[in-house]
Structure 1
Amino acid sequence: MVKDMTTKKISFFWAVIPFLFMIVSMLYTVVILESAPHIPLMIGTAIAAIVAYYHGYTWKEIEDMMYKGIRLALPAIVIIILVGLIIGAWIGGGIVATMIYYGLKLITPSLFLVTMVIICAIVSLAIGSSWSTMATVGVAGMGIGLSMDIPAGMIAGAIISGAYFGDKMSPLSDTTNLAAGLTGTNLFEHIKHMFYTTVPAITISLIVFFILGKQFTVEGINKGKIEAINNEMLDKFLISPWLLIVPLIVIILVALKVPAIPALVVGIVLGTLSQIFIQGGSIHDSVQALQTGYVLESKNELVKELFNRGGLESMFYTISMTIVAMTFGGILENSGMLKAIITQILKVAKGTGGLIASVIISCIGTNASCSEQYISIVVPSRMYIHTFIDKRLHPKNLSRALEDGGTVTSVFFLWNTCGVFIAQTLNVNVMEYGIYAVFNYTVPIISVIFGYIGYKIITINEEEYKQFKDAEAL
């Protein structure tokens, strides 16, 4: 077992050294080499291990720290695996195509911007990915919007706002599952708790884009790209409103408080049955969709990008990144390094409002320094979980703050993987779309305000406190 972190004191100076090495290597690897963040995290882990060893921890203790960190992520990893399966099943079953088809039918010239927010939100909710939404519907939306002489930054802002709303609120989203899993919060409790900050933010966004869109009255909108996508979907899938019953069933299960894993399994089974009995696919095709993702042959690159995805193997990147990140976080937490850092932060964070603001700032700072959205959730989750529980605050307050500060703010840094992706995909940089990404900067502001006024901040009683402390000791 890992010894109590208070037995071997590590100062603030030594505690920040692993972070500095990780940040520098992360910036170089992600921004300059345009590579994955796994190796920088491993470098940070190695430096953290050296610091811990230097302060008297044995290698066996350091190994236990890493394993303990990984063990904390196992519930999230299980959900992430199921998410890969359900995406493959829903695409193969024509469920995603049906949702996109009817969503695209909503586009009208005078309400283009607000419609793009809604469409991107629907698609992202369905597939749990802001990136795939922006790379498909978003690209088409940019072409249509530009033909109407709407500024590129404005179009991109609407697309990003909708895509990140769906990503944040979807039970299929990896970041949503990470935030819930790493804080020990029930997935659907986490999503429900996010409604209080997320719904006002998307409402404000819709109002803003409705007002902005009224100035554009171009007639004869070019619907060529949208029609091409719809025609391709009609050719490849049987589109039917009856298929919308599948996500509706999952939503009903969630409303009935069915646990996440059984609810997702039901969604996987229904999606697979839809692919076999409604779309006419073979059992072999349905199994392949679950394992390696759905494969659709098409000359339309947007359609291929949207539907050639899902499956267990599509989640290996996220799973491996989570495991590596949690070895880093495990050493930092169990050696006392995070405690040394958070002690300094909490000296200026007074009350619940200050604590929530500290989490938001930490997430934004991690997005800026580490260039990776996932890390902005993983590292702060372990930095603050003990403090929230000790202050008798329910962990779902933390899981919400992690997403309010981490998931949505990654788009504001050009060197962050999300900022780079948006610039390359939508051909618009943060200087153009930043002011129009209304949802993404409204959410953290609302979250901080709610923290200071105490609105929808859930506390725990002494019995719950003991339960959480017992869970920490496992």
Structure 2
Amino acid sequence: MKSPRLPSILEVVAVLGLFLAIVLSFTLYFKLDIQLALFISWFMVIALGIRLGHSYKDLQNAITKGISNGLEAVLILIAVGALVGTWIAGGVVPTLIYYGLEFIHPNIFLLATLIICSIMSVATGTSWGTVGTAGIAMIAIGEGLGIPLPIVAGAVLSGAYFGDKLSPLSDSTVLASSLSKVDVLAHVRAMMVLSIPAFVITAIMFTITGFMYGGKNIDQGKVEFLKQALQDTFTINIWMIIPALIVVLLLVLKKPSMPVIAIGALLGAVWAMAFQGMNPADALGTAYNGFSINSDVEFLNTLLNRGGIVNMLGSLVVIILGLGFGGVLEYLGVLKVIVATFEKKLHNAGNVTLSTLVVAFFANIFGCAMYVSLILTPKIMEKSYDKLKLDRRVLSRNSEVGGTLTSGMVPWSDNGIYMAGILGVSTFSYLPFMWLSFVAIGLAIIYGYTGKFIWYVKDQQEREESAS
């Protein structure tokens, strides 16, 4: 048996081009589910692996290893599905919608959406949980205020990803820092010098846009009608948000995400029994089947008939297939071959930064999951940083920016499918309004080429010698 070899750049371009052709034709032309395209793509890369001299058993082990590396995302997504279902049934999400319609002025609604989702995401460390709870509420409020939903979704995602890449509780933050061999808090501090200016710029953009749209299309009669419909369907009062406060508190206390979110789901079911008059079986059933309502208000039906573990199964399959696909790509060294083709040009911090962002984005496109990007990017790029004596904090920051902030931009990725499904806005519709992502990527590139907030290993050594 011949010894395995790395693929040539021609083989890499061919297999990745064929992958994109399969995905785009299945989703855009044939209107087939992305999961089927990913499953077929498995066998495409397996065929490449066999051509390169690998055994099928080794390739299958690469698939299972890739899946196991991201199983935490599967567990969290299951818990989030249960949480969304019971929080709607328990009146948590309807109460947030009601008070949002009551108190948030249309002119500052987009800014408020950005801030609320940012605070919740920083506190909880989960963009999925933020979008599945506060995000749904803000979409409903935006609809009532007559603000275009793609813009609202952009504000929701900007806030959600701000916290996801900045919170020390976030799994993506921990993953990016640990794989870059950087302390989590050091990584967060390195992120802050980029994230805070990006947040300020994004806040200004959404504030200006809010004054452009706020109040123009508002139908006060519709707002009052929605508020009344919520009151007629649910018990609405301040006590309804206690489950949300408990979950945020537990996560702030650094309790594990998955069990805390599961506890929040259980509290939602208890609230559904205690305050919304549901029987125990129906209340607990919303954790798996999601909430279902058939009111005379079509908008409420569309908005609130969601959640539950069963409605996450499509995203779970995407994550599993995407992680497996990414595991084979890593095993075959596909992205390493791509980087090796332009490695000679990686002679300064700017080029290395840009390359890291591109590799992370490609890992989202071809790995179909944020976990794949955050796992592969530091491994592939670390030698380039060490060669230039760049501090690993720069690597972890760029990996997070390129991996986390672009994950929701790919329609067939785990984040793209989840965000579009939860918010009811297609990926290509909200993508132009993911302003925080674009601003942060732009700042990362500017920092790289100007040397601003770019640290070197020798600088760290000198500081340590001076301190001693």
Shift of 1:228: 2.6
Out of 242, 247, 255, the residue aligned to residue 250 of structure 1 is 247
Mapped partners of 2:353, 2:210: distance in 1: 34
Out of 58, 69, 83, the residue aligned to residue 72 of structure 1 is 69
Q: Does 1:268 align with 2:265?
A: yes
User: Residue 80 of structure 2 aligns to a residue in which SS?
Assistant: helix
Alignment of 1:37-76 (within 5 A): 37-76=34-73
Alignment of 1:422-441 (within 5 A): 434=432, 438-441=435-438
User: Residue 105 of structure 1 aligns to a residue in which SS?
Assistant: helix
User: Residue 33 of structure 2 aligns to a residue in which SS?
Assistant: coil
Q: How has the CA–CA distance of structure 1 residues 210 and 332 changed in structure 2, closer, same or farther, with 3 Å as cutoff?
A: closer
Mapped partners of 1:217, 1:129: distance in 2: 24
Q: Does 1:90 align with 2:87?
A: yes
Q: How has the CA–CA distance of structure 1 residues 348 and 420 changed in structure 2, closer, same or farther, with 3 Å as cutoff?
A: farther
User: Which residue in the other structure is 1:384 paired with?
Assistant: 377
Out of 65, 77, 81, the residue aligned to residue 78 of structure 2 is 81
Q: How has the CA–CA distance of structure 1 residues 309 and 181 changed in structure 2, closer, same or farther, with 3 Å as cutoff?
A: farther
Q: Deviations over 1:184-222 (max 9, x none)?
A: 969xx6996766655543432332343455567968952
Shift of 1:62: 1.4
User: Which residue in the other structure is 1:141 paired with?
Assistant: 142
Mapped partners of 1:77, 1:274: distance in 2: 26
Out of 120, 134, 153, the residue aligned to residue 160 of structure 1 is 153
Q: How has the CA–CA distance of structure 1 residues 101 and 316 changed in structure 2, closer, same or farther, with 3 Å as cutoff?
A: same
220-229 or 258-267, larger mean C-alpha shift: 220-229
User: Which residue in the other structure is 2:318 paired with?
Assistant: 321
Mapped partners of 1:84, 1:134: distance in 2: 14
User: Which residue in the other structure is 2:401 paired with?
Assistant: 401
User: Which residue in the other structure is 2:278 paired with?
Assistant: 281
Q: Which amino acid aligns with 1:381?
A: L
Q: Does 1:207 align with 2:210?
A: no
Shift of 1:84: 1.0
Q: Deviations over 1:48-71 (max 9, x none)?
A: 111110121111111111111111
Mapped partners of 1:273, 1:399: distance in 2: 41
Alpha carbons 2:15, 2:44 under 8 Å: kept: yes
Q: How has the CA–CA distance of structure 1 residues 343 and 318 changed in structure 2, closer, same or farther, with 3 Å as cutoff?
A: same
Mapped partners of 1:77, 1:217: distance in 2: 38
Unmatched segments (≥5 aa) in structure 2: 458-468
Mapped partners of 1:342, 1:230: distance in 2: 54
Mapped partners of 1:134, 1:260: distance in 2: 19
Shift of 1:290: 0.9
Shift of 1:178: 8.1
Identity of aligned residues (%): 24
Mapped partners of 1:298, 1:365: distance in 2: 44
Alpha carbons 2:291, 2:308 under 8 Å: kept: yes
TM-score by length of 2: 0.75
Mapped partners of 1:192, 1:262: distance in 2: 24
User: Residue 37 of structure 2 aligns to a residue in which SS?
Assistant: helix
Alpha carbons 2:361, 2:406 under 8 Å: kept: yes
Alpha carbons 1:76, 1:180 under 8 Å: kept: no
Mapped partners of 2:339, 2:254: distance in 1: 35
Q: Deviations over 1:362-398 (max 9, x none)?
A: 455677x77xxx8263553344131356557368536
Q: Which amino acid aligns with 2:142?
A: G
Shift of 1:136: 7.9
Mapped partners of 2:74, 2:217: distance in 1: 48
Alpha carbons 2:349, 2:448 under 8 Å: kept: yes
Q: Which amino acid aligns with 2:377?
A: Y
Q: Which amino acid aligns with 1:164?
A: L
Alpha carbons 1:98, 1:243 under 8 Å: kept: yes
Q: How has the CA–CA distance of structure 1 residues 18 and 182 changed in structure 2, closer, same or farther, with 3 Å as cutoff?
A: farther
Shift of 1:163: 2.0
Mapped partners of 2:112, 2:208: distance in 1: 12
Alpha carbons 1:298, 1:304 under 8 Å: kept: yes
Q: How has the CA–CA distance of structure 1 residues 209 and 335 changed in structure 2, closer, same or farther, with 3 Å as cutoff?
A: closer
Mapped partners of 2:88, 2:144: distance in 1: 25
Alpha carbons 2:358, 2:402 under 8 Å: kept: no
Mapped partners of 2:435, 2:199: distance in 1: 8
Alpha carbons 2:49, 2:59 under 8 Å: kept: yes
Shift of 1:113: 5.0
Q: Which amino acid aligns with 2:445?
A: V
User: Which residue in the other structure is 1:375 paired with?
Assistant: 368
Alpha carbons 1:49, 1:331 under 8 Å: kept: yes
Q: Which amino acid aligns with 2:33?
A: A
Q: How has the CA–CA distance of structure 1 residues 36 and 56 changed in structure 2, closer, same or farther, with 3 Å as cutoff?
A: same
Aligned residues: 429
Q: How has the CA–CA distance of structure 1 residues 210 and 97 changed in structure 2, closer, same or farther, with 3 Å as cutoff?
A: same
Q: Which amino acid aligns with 1:26?
A: V
Q: Which amino acid aligns with 2:88?
A: I
Aligned alpha-carbon RMSD (Å): 4.3
Mapped partners of 1:156, 1:402: distance in 2: 25
Out of 18, 22, 33, the residue aligned to residue 21 of structure 1 is 18
